[in-house]
Amino acid sequence: MLQFGTVANCPSSSGGIDGHGGIYFATLLCGGNVGTCAVTEPACSVEYVAAGIEINNDNWAVEGWGGSMLYTTSCAGMPFEVNVGGPTNGGVSGTLHHVAYINNLAYNNANAFGADDHGNGAYGVDYWAIVGNIAQNSAGRADCHPEGCYYDAAIDMIGVANYDTVAGTHIFTAGNFMINNQQTLGGASDGEAMMADTWDALDYTQQAVIRDNLAVLSERFGFHMFYQGISNNTPTLKVYNNTYFANNAENYTSQSGAILGEINTQSTKATMPWNIDIYNNIAKTNWAVNAGGAYDYALNVGGDFASILVGNTGTNPANSQNIFKGMMTTCWGSSCDPGNDVVAQNGGSYGVNTYADPAFNNTSDMLANQIGVPNCSGFVNTVECMGYNANTQAFTNPSVLYDMTPKANGTSGKGMRVPSTTCLSSDADYPTWLKGIVYLQWNSSTQTITENADLVTKPCGY
């Protein structure tokens, strides 16, 4: 497991892409293409939780690496983790801050990108970015062990805590690909592509932006937001321009009759005080009832959560309907749209959306040929590996990105957007603290590091 030293004088007062500083990170950069540098543990037997690159100090970014830690019935392999376990577990005292995983490849793991409190639970992370990564088969389940049971999502935003209350985006999860994240050992919980899990545990109150991600064929939800009432916290989650397809592939017979969503909001309490905006997403199911007997919808709003806005409602932007398509013929909640594509329970609202098939280019090829370990050999970034070159504006056919491009009328500007190398004049949701690091590449010929613009679309000057 790699260890990280202390970084000082952040943000920098000089250097960076404009020479004026403003850089918050020291970066562990792979000198080759995506995944050339890698952390692996084939046996996954050193300890119950085997961590690869576990950031345990403030102001660090990791870019261009690969990680395959595997998982067994006695070991959870986690290649890209944030250590929020505190000083007695090798971390810092207080909230860990300014941590970024950018342009990395994770495959065959119990968890790809997440946080580990090592059983402490008193510390957390803030100013956290997970940008332009691939997580394949990385929500595996490790069976129960004397230290506990391990269940997780491929990208699990857990253990978040306030470092400060400065306005703006504190958690940024964008441009990630989550593919075939199955619990092949069998499981009873989790297995999501991405999850915002129990942010009330440490009373988190800041803004998170979850945009331009793609999730296909997960064990459970494409994106799950879960509140347990530990505190009455009010974070803001902006969930937009994501694509979800064929998730909730689990076959837990214990879940027979459960109501699930490609996008899923749930609370153990009658209320959910989080401010959640869900708009411009595309979500399509691949079955009405999954193998375990659960009912599958494109969206499931788990209750009468007044602070959740869906589609073209409330303060969401104009013309911001989600594109939702399900296969159910019956409404198993308190209300559904006329086609039973989405469901709201216990008096909840599913908002104003468009209910139509997005007509992805080739879902058959996606499910048959694109769900294995990605071969990123020769690719400088994960977007190219997934089938799109932002510099030439060309798709590879077939590929993940080509297959999952919608072609139905009305889908333009919806779902995951491919990156543009033309910067945006403004982007209020893009974190200022990510200036100068998305993404970096080492040029062995010129012995220089450049910042490239073909991973995610950025505002000018960042």
In total, how many domains does the chain have?
2
Token digits for 326?
């399900």
Q: Are residues 173 and 239 in the same domain?
A: no
Domain limits at 268?
203-360+404-411
Q: Are residues 207 and 179 in the same domain?
A: no
Peptide bond into 11 cis (omega under 30): yes
Mean pLDDT (whole number) for 391-402: 98
The answer to which of 13-22, 114-123, 200-209 has the lowest mean pLDDT is: 13-22
Task: Assess if residue 378 is contained within a domain.
Answer: no
Q: Are residues 177 and 292 in the same domain?
A: no
Mean pLDDT (whole number) for 7-21: 89
**What sign has the CA pseudo-torsion 80, 99, 171, 366?**
negative
Q: What pLDDT does residue 70 have?
A: 86
* pLDDT tens per residue across span 167-187: 999 999 999 999 999 987 766
Mean pLDDT (whole number) for 437-462: 94
Report percent pLDDT > 70 for the chain: 96
**Helix or strand or coil: residue 255?**
helix
Strands 49-55 and 335-336 come out as unpaired
Report percent pLDDT > 90 for the chain: 87
- Please, are residues 104 and 64 in contact by the beta-carbon 8 Å criterion? yes
CA distances from 148 to 119, 144, 195, 253, 293 (A): 9, 6, 20, 23, 28
Task: Assess if residue 167 is contained within a domain.
Answer: yes
Q: Are residues 237 and 355 in the same domain?
A: yes
Q: Are residues 240 and 302 in the same domain?
A: yes
**Helix or strand or coil: residue 208?**
strand
Q: Are residues 10 and 82 in the same domain?
A: yes
Task: Assess if residue 191 is contained within a domain.
Answer: no
Task: Assess if residue 331 is contained within a domain.
Answer: yes
pLDDT tier for residue 146 given thresholds of 50, 70 and 90: low
Token digits for 336?
């559904």
CB atoms within 10 A of CB 363: 18
Q: Is the pLDDT of residue 3 over 90?
A: no
Contacts 24+ apart (CB under 8 A), 330-339: 330/295, 332/259, 332/295, 333/259, 333/300, 336/297
Average pLDDT value for the chain: 94
Q: Is the pLDDT of residue 2 over 70?
A: no
Q: Are residues 144 and 84 in the same domain?
A: yes
Residues 387 and 321: their CA atoms lie apart, in Å, by: 27
Q: What pLDDT does residue 380 have?
A: 97
CA distances from 426 to 248, 315, 357, 431 (A): 36, 19, 32, 12
- Please, are residues 129 and 93 in contact by the beta-carbon 8 Å criterion? no
Mean pLDDT (whole number) for 334-358: 97
Q: Is the pLDDT of residue 71 over 90?
A: no
Residues 20 and 41: their CA atoms lie apart, in Å, by: 41
Q: Are residues 61 and 18 in the same domain?
A: yes
Task: Assess if residue 64 is contained within a domain.
Answer: yes
**Helix or strand or coil: residue 311?**
strand
Q: Is the pLDDT of residue 147 over 70?
A: no
pLDDT tier for residue 310 given thresholds of 50, 70 and 90: very high
Q: Are residues 161 and 12 in the same domain?
A: yes
Q: Are residues 147 and 213 in the same domain?
A: no
**What sign has the CA pseudo-torsion 76, 78, 79, 82?**
negative
Residue ending a domain, choose from 394, 411, 428 = 411
DSSP 8-state class, residue 250? -
CA distances from 323 to 171, 216, 263, 410, 460 (A): 25, 16, 12, 9, 30
Looking at 192-330, which runs of residues are DSSP E strands? Answer: 194-197, 207-211, 214-216, 223-227, 236-240, 243-245, 259-267, 275-279, 282-284, 295-301, 308-310, 323-325
Q: Is the pLDDT of residue 1 over 60?
A: no
Residues 186 and 390: their CA atoms lie apart, in Å, by: 39
Strands 394-395 and 342-344 come out as unpaired
pTM: 0.97
Task: Assess if residue 385 is contained within a domain.
Answer: no
Q: Is the pLDDT of residue 230 over 60?
A: yes
In which residue are the tokens 């994106």 written?
A: 223
Q: Are residues 353 and 439 in the same domain?
A: no
**What sign has the CA pseudo-torsion 20, 25, 28, 34?**
negative
Q: Are residues 146 and 225 in the same domain?
A: no
Q: What pLDDT does residue 210 have?
A: 99
Q: What pLDDT does residue 45 have?
A: 61
Angle at CA 54, nearest 5°, toward 199 and 447?
125
Q: Residue 355: which residues within 8 A CB-CB, separation 6 or more?
A: 324, 325, 337, 338, 339, 341, 342
Mean pLDDT (whole number) for 75-88: 93
- Please, are residues 350 and 304 in contact by the beta-carbon 8 Å criterion? no
Residues 364 and 318: their CA atoms lie apart, in Å, by: 33
Task: Report which of 252, 183, 195 is spatially closest to residue 227, judged by C-alpha positions.
Answer: 195
CB atoms within 10 A of CB 16: 17
Token digits for 272?
């959910």
Mean pLDDT (whole number) for 443-462: 94
Task: Assess if residue 375 is contained within a domain.
Answer: no
Mean pLDDT (whole number) for 395-420: 98
Residues 330 and 288: their CA atoms lie apart, in Å, by: 9
Task: Assess if residue 393 is contained within a domain.
Answer: no
